[in-house]
Protein backbone atom coordinates (compact mmCIF):
# COMPACT_ATOMS: atom_id res chain seq x y z
CA UNK A 1 0.00 0.00 0.00
CA UNK A 2 1.31 3.42 -0.94
CA UNK A 3 1.76 6.02 1.76
CA UNK A 4 -0.35 8.47 -0.21
CA UNK A 5 -3.21 7.39 -2.46
CA UNK A 6 -4.65 9.61 -5.15
CA UNK A 7 -7.02 8.71 -7.96
CA UNK A 8 -5.15 9.37 -11.21
CA UNK A 9 -8.32 10.18 -13.15
CA UNK A 10 -8.74 11.53 -15.73
CA UNK A 11 -11.54 13.64 -14.33
CA UNK A 12 -13.59 15.54 -16.87
CA UNK A 13 -16.02 18.27 -15.80
CA UNK A 14 -17.96 21.05 -17.57
CA UNK A 15 -16.87 24.64 -17.18
CA UNK A 16 -18.31 26.20 -14.04
CA UNK A 17 -18.53 22.93 -12.11
CA UNK A 18 -17.23 22.44 -8.61
CA UNK A 19 -14.31 20.05 -8.62
CA UNK A 20 -13.36 17.85 -5.69
CA UNK A 21 -9.93 16.29 -5.59
CA UNK A 22 -8.86 13.98 -2.79
CA UNK A 23 -5.98 12.11 -1.24
CA UNK A 24 -5.79 9.59 1.54
CA UNK A 25 -2.70 8.74 3.49
CA UNK A 26 -1.50 6.21 6.01
CA UNK A 27 1.25 8.00 7.94
CA UNK A 28 -0.27 9.73 10.94
CA UNK A 29 2.95 11.73 11.40
CA UNK A 30 2.20 13.92 8.39
CA UNK A 31 1.57 17.48 9.58
CA UNK A 32 2.05 19.64 6.49
CA UNK A 33 -0.19 19.27 3.47
CA UNK A 34 0.16 20.81 0.05
CA UNK A 35 -1.59 20.90 -3.27
CA UNK A 36 0.33 21.56 -6.45
CA UNK A 37 -0.92 22.16 -9.97
CA UNK A 38 1.22 20.91 -12.83
CA UNK A 39 0.68 21.81 -16.43
CA UNK A 40 2.12 19.58 -19.10
CA UNK A 41 5.90 19.90 -19.39
CA UNK A 42 6.08 22.38 -16.52
CA UNK A 43 7.15 22.18 -12.90
CA UNK A 44 4.55 21.94 -10.12
CA UNK A 45 3.05 25.21 -8.94
CA UNK A 46 2.10 25.55 -5.29
CA UNK A 47 -1.62 26.17 -4.82
CA UNK A 48 -2.30 25.55 -1.15
CA UNK A 49 -0.26 24.92 1.97
CA UNK A 50 -1.85 23.91 5.24
CA UNK A 51 -0.65 22.77 8.60
CA UNK A 52 -2.57 20.16 10.60
CA UNK A 53 -6.35 19.87 10.32
CA UNK A 54 -8.78 22.49 9.11
CA UNK A 55 -9.83 24.49 6.07
CA UNK A 56 -8.03 27.11 4.05
CA UNK A 57 -9.50 29.19 1.29
CA UNK A 58 -7.75 31.15 -1.44
CA UNK A 59 -9.91 32.56 -4.19
CA UNK A 60 -11.67 29.71 -5.97
CA UNK A 61 -9.63 27.09 -4.13
CA UNK A 62 -10.40 25.52 -0.76
CA UNK A 63 -8.19 22.96 0.94
CA UNK A 64 -9.48 20.72 3.69
CA UNK A 65 -7.50 18.46 5.98
CA UNK A 66 -9.09 15.82 8.19
CA UNK A 67 -6.29 14.21 10.12
CA UNK A 68 -8.64 11.92 12.04
CA UNK A 69 -9.64 10.31 8.75
CA UNK A 70 -6.25 10.81 7.08
CA UNK A 71 -8.01 12.50 4.21
CA UNK A 72 -7.32 15.77 2.40
CA UNK A 73 -9.33 17.54 -0.27
CA UNK A 74 -9.00 20.37 -2.72
CA UNK A 75 -12.14 22.05 -4.01
CA UNK A 76 -12.17 24.24 -7.09
CA UNK A 77 -15.20 26.46 -7.55
CA UNK A 78 -16.36 27.83 -10.88
CA UNK A 79 -13.85 25.69 -12.73
CA UNK A 80 -12.32 27.11 -15.88
CA UNK A 81 -10.65 25.47 -18.89
CA UNK A 82 -7.40 26.99 -17.63
CA UNK A 83 -7.72 24.78 -14.56
CA UNK A 84 -7.10 21.75 -16.78
CA UNK A 85 -3.90 20.25 -15.39
CA UNK A 86 -2.62 17.52 -13.12
CA UNK A 87 -3.15 18.16 -9.42
CA UNK A 88 -0.68 16.65 -7.00
CA UNK A 89 -1.17 16.33 -3.28
CA UNK A 90 1.95 16.26 -1.14
CA UNK A 91 2.62 15.96 2.54
CA UNK A 92 5.45 15.89 5.02
CA UNK A 93 6.16 15.42 8.68
CA UNK A 94 7.95 18.76 8.97
CA UNK A 95 8.05 22.08 7.16
CA UNK A 96 10.83 23.75 5.23
CA UNK A 97 10.75 21.35 2.34
CA UNK A 98 11.29 18.35 4.55
CA UNK A 99 11.04 15.21 2.44
CA UNK A 100 7.72 15.39 0.64
CA UNK A 101 5.62 12.38 -0.18
CA UNK A 102 3.57 12.95 -3.31
CA UNK A 103 0.40 11.43 -4.58
CA UNK A 104 0.43 10.19 -8.14
CA UNK A 105 -1.61 13.19 -9.30
CA UNK A 106 -5.12 13.56 -10.67
CA UNK A 107 -5.51 14.70 -14.25
CA UNK A 108 -8.34 17.23 -14.56
CA UNK A 109 -9.95 18.43 -17.75
CA UNK A 110 -12.44 21.27 -17.68
CA UNK A 111 -14.44 21.35 -20.87
CA UNK A 112 -16.24 24.26 -22.51
CA UNK B 1 6.09 35.11 -10.24
CA UNK B 2 8.59 32.28 -10.24
CA UNK B 3 10.74 31.99 -7.16
CA UNK B 4 12.91 29.18 -8.48
CA UNK B 5 14.56 29.38 -11.88
CA UNK B 6 15.85 26.33 -13.72
CA UNK B 7 17.97 26.20 -16.85
CA UNK B 8 17.91 24.85 -19.49
CA UNK B 9 14.26 23.99 -19.96
CA UNK B 10 15.16 21.24 -22.38
CA UNK B 11 18.33 19.60 -23.63
CA UNK B 12 19.19 16.86 -26.09
CA UNK B 13 22.54 15.16 -25.76
CA UNK B 14 24.34 12.17 -27.15
CA UNK B 15 24.88 9.03 -25.14
CA UNK B 16 28.09 9.20 -23.13
CA UNK B 17 28.18 12.96 -22.74
CA UNK B 18 27.48 14.97 -19.60
CA UNK B 19 24.78 17.54 -19.05
CA UNK B 20 24.60 20.26 -16.39
CA UNK B 21 21.32 21.65 -15.09
CA UNK B 22 21.23 24.83 -13.02
CA UNK B 23 18.74 25.73 -10.32
CA UNK B 24 18.62 29.23 -8.85
CA UNK B 25 16.58 30.67 -6.03
CA UNK B 26 15.31 34.15 -6.87
CA UNK B 27 15.20 36.81 -4.16
CA UNK B 28 15.84 34.37 -1.35
CA UNK B 29 18.66 32.24 -0.06
CA UNK B 30 18.31 28.50 -0.09
CA UNK B 31 20.64 26.49 2.10
CA UNK B 32 18.83 23.41 0.91
CA UNK B 33 17.51 22.54 -2.52
CA UNK B 34 15.88 19.35 -3.70
CA UNK B 35 16.24 17.54 -7.00
CA UNK B 36 13.35 15.46 -8.30
CA UNK B 37 12.86 13.27 -11.30
CA UNK B 38 9.57 12.61 -13.04
CA UNK B 39 8.77 10.00 -15.65
CA UNK B 40 5.78 10.43 -17.98
CA UNK B 41 2.45 10.16 -16.18
CA UNK B 42 4.18 9.43 -12.89
CA UNK B 43 4.65 11.45 -9.78
CA UNK B 44 7.80 13.15 -8.60
CA UNK B 45 10.56 11.07 -7.07
CA UNK B 46 13.12 12.72 -4.84
CA UNK B 47 16.65 12.06 -6.09
CA UNK B 48 18.79 14.03 -3.69
CA UNK B 49 18.97 16.90 -1.25
CA UNK B 50 21.49 19.58 -2.10
CA UNK B 51 23.11 21.24 0.90
CA UNK B 52 25.04 24.50 0.64
CA UNK B 53 28.59 24.02 1.83
CA UNK B 54 28.38 20.28 2.28
CA UNK B 55 27.80 17.08 0.38
CA UNK B 56 24.47 16.24 -1.12
CA UNK B 57 22.32 13.53 0.39
CA UNK B 58 21.16 10.96 -2.12
CA UNK B 59 18.06 8.80 -1.95
CA UNK B 60 18.40 5.06 -2.02
CA UNK B 61 19.06 3.77 -5.49
CA UNK B 62 20.37 7.06 -6.89
CA UNK B 63 23.98 6.85 -8.04
CA UNK B 64 25.93 9.74 -6.58
CA UNK B 65 28.73 9.35 -9.12
CA UNK B 66 26.30 9.59 -11.98
CA UNK B 67 24.23 12.49 -10.69
CA UNK B 68 26.72 15.02 -9.38
CA UNK B 69 25.27 17.79 -7.27
CA UNK B 70 27.05 20.97 -6.34
CA UNK B 71 25.53 23.67 -4.16
CA UNK B 72 27.97 26.42 -5.00
CA UNK B 73 26.23 29.29 -3.28
CA UNK B 74 23.10 30.12 -1.32
CA UNK B 75 21.24 30.73 -4.57
CA UNK B 76 22.63 28.12 -6.93
CA UNK B 77 22.59 24.34 -7.10
CA UNK B 78 23.66 22.32 -10.13
CA UNK B 79 22.92 18.77 -11.17
CA UNK B 80 25.29 17.14 -13.65
CA UNK B 81 24.21 13.95 -15.33
CA UNK B 82 27.48 12.26 -16.21
CA UNK B 83 27.95 9.78 -19.04
CA UNK B 84 24.28 10.04 -19.89
CA UNK B 85 22.44 7.09 -21.35
CA UNK B 86 18.99 6.89 -22.97
CA UNK B 87 17.49 5.55 -19.75
CA UNK B 88 18.46 8.84 -18.08
CA UNK B 89 16.00 10.63 -20.34
CA UNK B 90 13.48 12.18 -18.01
CA UNK B 91 12.08 15.40 -16.57
CA UNK B 92 14.33 16.79 -13.84
CA UNK B 93 12.91 19.39 -11.48
CA UNK B 94 14.58 21.32 -8.70
CA UNK B 95 12.89 22.94 -5.74
CA UNK B 96 13.60 24.99 -2.65
CA UNK B 97 11.74 26.24 0.40
CA UNK B 98 11.66 30.02 0.81
CA UNK B 99 12.05 29.68 4.57
CA UNK B 100 12.49 27.23 7.47
CA UNK B 101 8.80 26.33 7.67
CA UNK B 102 7.85 27.19 4.13
CA UNK B 103 6.66 24.80 1.45
CA UNK B 104 8.68 23.84 -1.60
CA UNK B 105 8.60 25.96 -4.71
CA UNK B 106 9.58 24.20 -7.90
CA UNK B 107 11.44 25.27 -10.97
CA UNK B 108 9.93 24.71 -14.39
CA UNK B 109 11.91 21.56 -14.95
CA UNK B 110 14.44 20.37 -17.52
CA UNK B 111 13.46 17.80 -20.07
CA UNK B 112 16.52 15.70 -20.86
CA UNK B 113 16.60 13.52 -23.94
CA UNK B 114 19.61 11.28 -24.45
CA UNK B 115 19.99 9.90 -27.95
- pLDDT at position B1 is 61
**B44 has pLDDT over 70:** yes
Q: What is the mean pLDDT of residues A65-92?
A: 97
Share of chain B above pLDDT 90, in %: 83
CB contact under 8 A, B44 and A44: yes
Q: Is B32 on the interface with A (CB under 8 A)?
A: yes
Long-range contact list for A58-67, CB < 8 A, 24+ apart?
A61/A35, A63/A33, A63/A35, A65/A33, A67/A28
Q: If you count residue pairs, one on A and one on B, with CB atoms under 8 Å apart, how many are there? A: 61
Reported as a single tens digit per residue, the pLDDT across A15-61 is 999 999 999 999 999 999 999 999 998 999 999 999 888 899 999 99
Looking at residue A38, what is its pLDDT? Answer: 96
Q: Please count the CA atoms within 13 angstroms of the CA of B94 that sit on its side-chain side.
A: 32
- The average pLDDT across B64-92 equals 96
CB-CB under 8 Å, B95 with A96: no
Q: How far is A102 from chain B (nearest CA, A)?
A: 7
The larger pLDDT score, comparing residue A41 to residue B14, is at B14
Chain A CB within 8 Å of residue B29 CB? no
Contact by Cβ (8 Å): A43, B106 = yes
pLDDT at position B106 is: 95
Contact A104/B91, CB-based, under 8 Å?
no
Q: What is the mean predicted confidence (pLDDT) over B59-85? A: 95
pLDDT of residue A94: 85
Confidence of residue B101 (pLDDT cuts 50, 70, 90): confident
Average pLDDT over residues B80-107: 93
pLDDT value for B43: 87
Per-residue pLDDT for A96 more than 80?
no
**pLDDT given at position B2:** 65
Q: Which residue among A8, A95, A103 sits closest to B101, beta carbon to beta carbon?
A: A95
Q: Is the pLDDT of residue B33 over 70?
A: yes
Q: Is A5 on the interface with B (CB under 8 A)?
A: no
**Residue A59 CB-density burial (10 A; 0-12 exposed, 13-18 middle, 19+ buried):** exposed
Mutation test of the interface with chain B: which of A37, A44, A94, choosing the one with the most B Cβ atoms within 10 A? A44
Residues in chain A closer than 8 A to B48 (CB atoms): none
Q: CB of B99 within 8 Å of any CB in chain A?
A: yes
**What mean pLDDT value characterizes chain B?**
93
Check pLDDT > 80 for residue A1: no
DSSP A81: G
Amino acid sequence: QKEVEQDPGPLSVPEGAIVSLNCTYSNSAFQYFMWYRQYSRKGPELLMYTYSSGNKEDGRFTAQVDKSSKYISLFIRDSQPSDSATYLCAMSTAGGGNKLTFGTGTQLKVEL
Amino acid sequence: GAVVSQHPSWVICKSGTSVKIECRSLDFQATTMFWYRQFPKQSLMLMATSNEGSKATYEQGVEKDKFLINHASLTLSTLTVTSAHPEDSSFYICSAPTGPDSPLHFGNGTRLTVT
